[in-house]
Amino acid sequence: MLRTYFISFFLLLSLPNKLFSQIEIKGQVRQIEKNLNFLEIQLTNKDSTVVQSALTDAEGKFSIITESGKYQLLIKQIGTILYQKSFEFQDNQDLGIIEIDNSKQLKEVVVNSKKKLIERKVDRLVFNVENSISASTGGDAINALKAAPGINIQNDKISMIGKSSLSIMIDDRFVQLSGEDLTNYLRTIKSEEIKSIEVITNPPSKYDAEGNSGIINIKLKKVKSDSWNASFRSTYIQSTYSSGSIGGSFAYQKNNIALNSNLNYSNGSNRILETQRIDYVTENWNSTDKLRSYNKIFGGKFSIDYKINENFSIGFQYTGGISNPTVKQNNLATLSDSETEITNQNIQTKLFEKKDNNYNTLNFYAKYKINPDGHLLSLDIDYFDYNKKNDLAFITDDYDLINDSNVIVSKRNLGDQDLKNFSAKVDVINPSTWAKIDYGAKISFVQNNSDLDYYDLNLEQNIPKNLISNLFQYKENNQSVYFSGAKKIGNNKWEIQIGLRYEMTQTNGYSSTLNKETDQKYSKLFPTSYITFTPNDNHSFSVNYGKRINRPRYSMLNPFREYNNAYSYIEGNPFLQPSITHNVSFGYILKNNFSSSLYYSLEKNGFSLITFIENGNINQITTNLNYFDSQNIGINESYVFNEFKFWESFNSLFLYYSKTKSDHVSVESPTEGLGSSISSNNSFILNKSKTILMNLDIMYSFPSTSLNTRNQSVFNTDFGFKYLLLKKQLVMNFLVSDVFKSNMQKWSQKINDINSYNTNYEDARRFSISVSYKFGNNKLKIKENKAGNGEERARAAGN
């Protein structure tokens, strides 16, 4: 594959000269018999993006080297447009003398062209939120993401179709949040502030090669300087139990300084119901888990940006938070004879778990504009500190009905994890007359220490269990460099982008319990390539390829045993290896409202959680293993119906085929099967002023097979109303989620020829009411700083 990649790259370099031929556009600017010197000459494309620029000399002359195509020629003086005209350049052209009449200067140019709702760029799909009435009215970033092609949101959990994980960026800067913290933050971004959402299914070489993941980049609208705004929001949720959140934000921009702050607090609980049935040869295991999960979360962000001059800016960002999740669990398991179905053993477990988590992230960045042509140098330095304390205790009463006897087992698990990460990266953007070139480098250092203690409990004292207590120390260093080049050819109808990233990794793990030290060193190349063809405004075609690496989360490497009861526990695996994924996709966009993508992925040496069960033994051991290779092929269709002014409907269909092969003796192999899901998100505008809206979202997932798991169908319906008051500054939302209480997960597995059946329901049916009020200057842009340790944050999120 790498050899083919380099051959393709050199073929690109050696394409006929006609495709890459450059033309010269020159002329002279005068103002009524007077030369105008040191004016800025710009060439912009159909998207109003500056392609080339130059300055006039002392005689008003200018010369620009560019490609053939259609352009707007702008002549500016201190930001004021003096001249504007459309041209189509095919060969070298001398425009001669351009006369500027001061009395007829253009004070302001208003561009009335409207972008398409869905656009294809070389390495991403762009959903223009501002062109959708329902997606951009009275909602937040979560509402807008529901309408984006290839994005699925269920129970406020964001996922990208065909991807195992994703990252979020705001204005090209990564948001270092996950889980409820991320959801709460996205709720603070109003949909009216969003210009577009970029869906990047195959990230280019500029980004870390970590994970079979995609990237969502939320682009905010441009705003005036010297402005401020503030907002307040509150949400109440009622399911089996109640919960709520409150928060506020403040942003200020004056001259060259921009400040942004955000605080969120949430508190509440919800119920989780899980069941499991295991069919052993001679007996059946049936268990029911009733959990009540409590969580208090407090988090905040603060950033300051300072523009030293037109070419140099710096910024600082802090993000921090604390959370105190608690779980109370009651588990009842029964063992019964498989033939008579008579119960012969009851196992009752009560469990209490408390966690104290806190994290702090610091980011410093600097940007230097080397020249007006877009040559840019940027630096990011990041520090991330995460600490997790875990206290889990349980008591199991194992009652033998046949012998009328019982055994009581009681244990306590204490854990203290401390994770620190430092990273720094440099990026260079170097556009030239031949191609746009990007390159850069990154270093990252991770240290993860976990101290884990186990105790047998009795009435008099806690007895340490030294054989399973553990001190685990893990270090990981990464170094990477990348290069990317993009080129438009054939009258800008074709665009080609090729990138290559090289990453080196060194890891060291030590377990005191196992008295074993593991060292790994590996380096890999990660190529990416993209081709788009846009013959006209109605059609766009694309094809891309990318190679990715999926490294285990830090918690997966820790041989920590977390017990659910006396017979069930989950533990980490310090010998896990990374997996490699190859992704190929083809895309097509028709007109303004239909997009289609076909993808294929191949994952080698994949790892996942697997539970081992055996006949004659009721112990259930869950761990992560590298145990499979998988192939997936799928198609995703998205269609926007907006023929009526009062109704806008975003519809999607996802269909895939999966085949998994495992060499592990306990796992059924191969497994293969189809999967599919459909969704429809509808918004209805109920009055002329567009201040009352109704939402109806429907999702159905068909039965499917993935890895060694067979999933049953899932159906979900959400229904709500949205009211906009006080010139749309006050927004009230009423929402009923999972109206029919049908969003229950059901799946089955086969291990060692033993079938197990599972269900999980996370209290998805709920009613919520939210209120948000924004005052000040609503056009203020909220800046976000991209942290360079997004990969390390994502891998820590699983702790």
Domain that holds residue 417: 227-796
Q: Does residue 97 share a domain with residue 237?
A: no
pLDDT tier at 134, thresholds 50, 70, 90: low
8, pLDDT greater than 50: no
Amino acid 7: pLDDT = 43
Amino acid 170: pLDDT = 80
Q: Does residue 366 share a domain with residue 497?
A: yes
Amino acid 104: pLDDT = 44
Boundary-marking domain end, from 104, 132, 156: 104
What is the full DSSP assignment across 507-520? EEEEETTTTEEEEE
- Show the tokens assigned to 384: 């991330």
User: Tens of pLDDT along 165-182?
Assistant: 778 888 877 776 666 667
Boundary-marking domain end, from 104, 119, 151: 104
Domain total in the chain: 2
Amino acid 5: pLDDT = 42
Amino acid 466: pLDDT = 57
- The mean per-residue pLDDT over the stretch 652-662 comes to 91
Amino acid 180: pLDDT = 66
Q: Are 126 and 197 in contact (CB under 8 A)?
A: yes
Decide which of 153 and 673 is more confident: 673
User: Tens of pLDDT along 718-767?
Assistant: 999 989 898 888 989 999 999 999 999 999 988 888 899 999 998 999 99
> Taking the CB of residue 436, how many other CB atoms lie within 10 A of it?
15
Q: Are 172 and 287 in contact (CB under 8 A)?
A: no
Q: Which residues contact 340 (CB under 8 A, 6 or more apart)?
A: none
CATH number at residue 82: 2.60.40.10
- The mean per-residue pLDDT over the stretch 113-141 comes to 76
Q: Does residue 96 share a domain with residue 233?
A: no
Boundary-marking domain end, from 104, 119, 146: 104
Q: Name the region of 488 (left: φ>0; alpha: ψ -120 to 50; beta: rest).
A: beta
Rounded Cα gap, residues 23 and 18, in angstroms: 11
Decide which of 368 and 537 is more confident: 368
Residue 127 lies in a domain: no
User: Tens of pLDDT along 410-449?
Assistant: 888 888 889 899 999 999 998 887 888 999 999 999 998 8
Q: Are 562 and 393 in contact (CB under 8 A)?
A: no
CATH number at residue 779: 2.40.170.20
> Three-state DSSP class for 184?
helix
Percent of the chain with pLDDT over 70: 87
Amino acid 454: pLDDT = 81
Amino acid 20: pLDDT = 40
Residue 651 lies in a domain: yes
Percent of the chain with pLDDT over 90: 34
- Show the tokens assigned to 5: 């990649």
Residue 442 lies in a domain: yes
Residue 214 lies in a domain: no
- The mean per-residue pLDDT over the stretch 297-303 comes to 88
pLDDT tier at 798, thresholds 50, 70, 90: low
Decide which of 127 and 528 is more confident: 528
- The mean per-residue pLDDT over the stretch 252-268 comes to 88
107, pLDDT greater than 50: no
230, pLDDT greater than 50: yes
460, pLDDT greater than 90: no
pLDDT tier at 109, thresholds 50, 70, 90: very low
- The mean per-residue pLDDT over the stretch 684-701 comes to 91
Average pLDDT over the chain reads 83
36, pLDDT greater than 90: no
Highest averaged pLDDT of the listed ranges 102-106, 570-574, 714-718: 714-718
